[in-house]
Amino acid sequence: MSEKDFEAAVSAALDEVPQELMAMLDNVVILVEEEPDGPDRDLLGLYQGTALTDRGWEYGGVLPDTITVYRGPTLRMCSTVEQVIEEVAVTVVHEIAHHFGIEEHRLHELGWG
């Protein structure tokens, strides 16, 4: 899958997130990168920032949080275009959930692991 097609899959996944939730995303940038930095080469997505549930009165004047979706690991994990599209959608929901303060164990309980 080309970079352009992968970015379109991420965009389509974001379009499927209910507008009520998208409107509540605060100070977040969505990125697509080829590979993750660091030792976990199989990482599909990453939320970096301060979850809404952890923001206090002192939160302000900070750079945007980032949600990054990684193309390389996703393509290595999936064998069809349909699987890529499905996995991207799961990854987008998963990382947005972290922005709302939903922890990894709870996501797994909800079937978004």
- The domains located in the chain, with CATH, are 3-109 (3.30.2010.20)
Tokens found for residue 56: 């206090």
pLDDT tens digits for 18-56? 888 888 887 899 999 999 998 899 999 999 998 878 777
Average pLDDT value for the chain: 89
Query: Which segments within 1-113 are labelled E, that is strand?
Result: 28-33, 45-48, 65-70
What's residue 103's pLDDT? 79
Task: Count CB neighbours of 70 within 10 A.
Answer: 24
Q: How confident is the model at residue 98 (pLDDT cuts 50, 70, 90)?
A: confident
